[in-house]
Amino acid sequence: MREILFRGKRTDNGEWVYGYYVLKKLPYFKDKGVNVEHLIYDNMEIEDNDYKQFVDTMQISYVVYPKTISQYTGLTDKCDKKIFEGDIINVTPDVTNRLMDVRWNDETLSWELTDVGTPTFGVNHIFNTIDLAELEVESCYGERISFIVGNIYDNPELLKADKEKLKTNYF
Protein backbone atom coordinates (compact mmCIF):
# COMPACT_ATOMS: atom_id res chain seq x y z
CA MET A 1 0.00 0.00 0.00
CA ARG A 2 1.21 3.50 -0.87
CA GLU A 3 2.40 5.78 1.91
CA ILE A 4 0.12 8.81 2.28
CA LEU A 5 2.32 11.84 2.81
CA PHE A 6 2.04 15.55 2.03
CA ARG A 7 4.36 18.51 1.97
CA GLY A 8 3.74 22.24 2.16
CA LYS A 9 5.68 25.48 2.49
CA ARG A 10 5.37 27.15 5.89
CA THR A 11 3.83 30.62 5.96
CA ASP A 12 6.11 31.85 8.74
CA ASN A 13 9.53 31.04 7.25
CA GLY A 14 9.08 29.40 3.82
CA GLU A 15 10.57 26.09 4.96
CA TRP A 16 9.20 22.82 3.52
CA VAL A 17 7.48 20.52 6.02
CA TYR A 18 6.34 16.93 5.49
CA GLY A 19 3.55 14.98 7.16
CA TYR A 20 -0.23 14.75 7.25
CA TYR A 21 -2.41 17.42 5.65
CA VAL A 22 -5.32 18.78 7.68
CA LEU A 23 -7.81 21.44 6.60
CA LYS A 24 -8.96 23.07 9.83
CA LYS A 25 -12.17 25.07 9.87
CA LEU A 26 -11.87 28.25 11.93
CA PRO A 27 -14.54 30.49 13.40
CA TYR A 28 -15.36 33.28 10.97
CA PHE A 29 -13.67 36.54 11.83
CA LYS A 30 -15.10 39.53 10.00
CA ASP A 31 -11.83 41.47 9.98
CA LYS A 32 -9.77 38.58 8.57
CA GLY A 33 -12.31 36.93 6.29
CA VAL A 34 -10.43 33.62 6.54
CA ASN A 35 -12.37 30.62 7.75
CA VAL A 36 -9.94 27.75 7.08
CA GLU A 37 -6.34 26.99 7.93
CA HIS A 38 -4.12 24.60 5.95
CA LEU A 39 -1.89 22.57 8.28
CA ILE A 40 0.80 19.92 8.00
CA TYR A 41 1.17 17.74 11.11
CA ASP A 42 4.45 15.90 11.38
CA ASN A 43 3.58 13.66 14.33
CA MET A 44 -0.05 12.64 14.01
CA GLU A 45 -0.55 9.43 15.97
CA ILE A 46 -3.22 6.79 15.51
CA GLU A 47 -4.37 4.50 18.29
CA ASP A 48 -3.69 0.86 17.52
CA ASN A 49 -7.13 -0.54 18.29
CA ASP A 50 -10.18 -1.78 16.41
CA TYR A 51 -11.47 1.73 15.72
CA LYS A 52 -8.18 3.37 14.64
CA GLN A 53 -9.26 6.78 15.90
CA PHE A 54 -7.02 9.81 15.82
CA VAL A 55 -5.35 10.64 19.10
CA ASP A 56 -6.03 14.20 20.20
CA THR A 57 -2.37 14.84 20.98
CA MET A 58 -1.24 16.35 17.70
CA GLN A 59 1.60 18.45 19.05
CA ILE A 60 3.55 19.80 16.11
CA SER A 61 1.72 21.45 13.24
CA TYR A 62 2.63 24.11 10.71
CA VAL A 63 0.42 26.52 8.79
CA VAL A 64 1.29 26.19 5.09
CA TYR A 65 0.46 28.03 1.88
CA PRO A 66 -2.46 26.19 0.21
CA LYS A 67 -0.93 26.44 -3.29
CA THR A 68 2.19 24.56 -2.15
CA ILE A 69 0.43 21.50 -0.72
CA SER A 70 1.64 18.47 -2.66
CA GLN A 71 1.00 14.77 -2.27
CA TYR A 72 3.66 12.05 -2.38
CA THR A 73 3.28 9.85 -5.49
CA GLY A 74 4.60 6.70 -3.85
CA LEU A 75 7.61 6.66 -6.19
CA THR A 76 11.24 7.71 -5.88
CA ASP A 77 13.85 8.98 -8.32
CA LYS A 78 17.22 7.37 -9.02
CA CYS A 79 18.64 8.88 -5.82
CA ASP A 80 15.74 7.39 -3.77
CA LYS A 81 14.32 10.88 -3.22
CA LYS A 82 10.52 10.88 -2.83
CA ILE A 83 8.64 12.29 -5.83
CA PHE A 84 5.85 14.75 -4.97
CA GLU A 85 3.23 16.48 -7.07
CA GLY A 86 4.81 19.68 -8.41
CA ASP A 87 8.32 18.26 -8.65
CA ILE A 88 10.27 18.88 -11.86
CA ILE A 89 12.03 15.78 -13.08
CA ASN A 90 14.78 15.28 -15.65
CA VAL A 91 13.51 12.15 -17.38
CA THR A 92 16.31 11.50 -19.88
CA PRO A 93 19.45 13.19 -18.57
CA ASP A 94 21.80 11.22 -20.84
CA VAL A 95 19.88 12.01 -24.02
CA THR A 96 17.98 15.30 -24.14
CA ASN A 97 17.64 16.62 -20.58
CA ARG A 98 13.85 16.35 -20.89
CA LEU A 99 12.32 18.32 -18.00
CA MET A 100 8.82 17.31 -16.96
CA ASP A 101 6.62 18.27 -14.02
CA VAL A 102 4.53 15.88 -11.94
CA ARG A 103 0.76 16.42 -12.05
CA TRP A 104 -2.35 14.54 -11.00
CA ASN A 105 -4.79 13.76 -13.83
CA ASP A 106 -8.41 13.67 -12.62
CA GLU A 107 -9.60 11.96 -15.82
CA THR A 108 -7.22 8.99 -15.67
CA LEU A 109 -6.84 9.05 -11.87
CA SER A 110 -3.08 8.77 -12.19
CA TRP A 111 0.14 10.72 -11.74
CA GLU A 112 1.65 11.93 -14.99
CA LEU A 113 4.68 13.81 -16.21
CA THR A 114 4.13 16.71 -18.60
CA ASP A 115 6.83 18.49 -20.59
CA VAL A 116 7.65 21.80 -18.95
CA GLY A 117 6.14 24.69 -20.89
CA THR A 118 3.46 22.75 -22.79
CA PRO A 119 -0.28 23.38 -22.49
CA THR A 120 -2.27 21.08 -20.23
CA PHE A 121 -4.93 20.41 -22.85
CA GLY A 122 -5.34 19.32 -26.48
CA VAL A 123 -2.96 17.50 -28.81
CA ASN A 124 0.18 18.96 -27.22
CA HIS A 125 -0.84 17.48 -23.89
CA ILE A 126 -1.33 14.02 -25.40
CA PHE A 127 2.04 13.94 -27.15
CA ASN A 128 3.98 15.56 -24.32
CA THR A 129 2.76 13.46 -21.40
CA ILE A 130 4.10 10.27 -19.82
CA ASP A 131 2.28 8.23 -17.19
CA LEU A 132 4.51 8.30 -14.11
CA ALA A 133 3.73 4.64 -13.29
CA GLU A 134 4.77 3.55 -16.81
CA LEU A 135 8.08 5.38 -16.46
CA GLU A 136 8.63 3.61 -13.13
CA VAL A 137 7.86 0.19 -14.67
CA GLU A 138 10.23 0.84 -17.59
CA SER A 139 12.99 1.86 -15.21
CA CYS A 140 12.58 -1.37 -13.20
CA TYR A 141 14.12 -3.28 -16.10
CA GLY A 142 17.24 -1.17 -15.98
CA GLU A 143 18.67 1.59 -13.88
CA ARG A 144 16.35 4.42 -12.92
CA ILE A 145 17.13 7.32 -15.20
CA SER A 146 14.99 10.11 -13.81
CA PHE A 147 15.90 12.48 -11.02
CA ILE A 148 14.34 15.51 -9.34
CA VAL A 149 15.89 18.84 -10.35
CA GLY A 150 13.52 21.14 -8.45
CA ASN A 151 9.85 21.97 -8.07
CA ILE A 152 7.36 24.42 -9.54
CA TYR A 153 7.29 26.53 -6.36
CA ASP A 154 11.00 27.05 -5.66
CA ASN A 155 12.27 26.90 -9.24
CA PRO A 156 9.83 28.77 -11.51
CA GLU A 157 12.69 29.46 -13.94
CA LEU A 158 12.64 25.76 -14.86
CA LEU A 159 9.06 26.15 -16.11
CA LYS A 160 10.16 28.36 -19.00
CA ALA A 161 10.35 25.99 -21.93
CA ASP A 162 12.88 26.12 -24.70
CA LYS A 163 10.25 26.27 -27.48
CA GLU A 164 12.70 25.27 -30.24
CA LYS A 165 13.83 22.24 -28.26
CA LEU A 166 10.20 21.23 -27.71
CA LYS A 167 9.49 21.54 -31.45
CA THR A 168 12.43 19.44 -32.54
CA ASN A 169 12.25 16.77 -29.85
CA TYR A 170 8.61 16.24 -29.03
CA PHE A 171 6.26 17.38 -31.82
Total-model pTM: 0.73
CATH 3.40.710.10 fits 72-170, yes or no: no
pLDDT the model gives residue 69: 97
Each residue's pLDDT tens digit, 93-119:
555 677 888 888 888 888 888 777 655
What stretch(es) of the chain map to CATH 2.30.30.290?
A: 72-170
Each residue's pLDDT tens digit, 47-95:
555 554 554 454 688 999 999 999 999 888 888 899 999 999 887 655 5
pLDDT the model gives residue 171: 41
3-state secondary structure the chain: CCCCCEEEEECCCCCEEEEEEEEEECCCCCCCCCCEEEEEECCCCECCCCCCCECCCCCCEEEECHHHCEEEEEEECCCCCEEECCEEEECCCCCCCCEEEEEEECCCCEEEEEECCCCCCHHHHHHCEEEHHHHHHHHHCCCCCCEEEEECCCCHHHHCCCHHHHHHHHC
| Average pLDDT, integer, range 143-161 | 81
C-beta separation of 8 from 64 below 8 A: yes
| Average pLDDT, integer, range 21-49 | 73
Q: How far apart are CA 149 and CA 163, in angstroms?
A: 20
- C-alpha R_g of the chain: 19
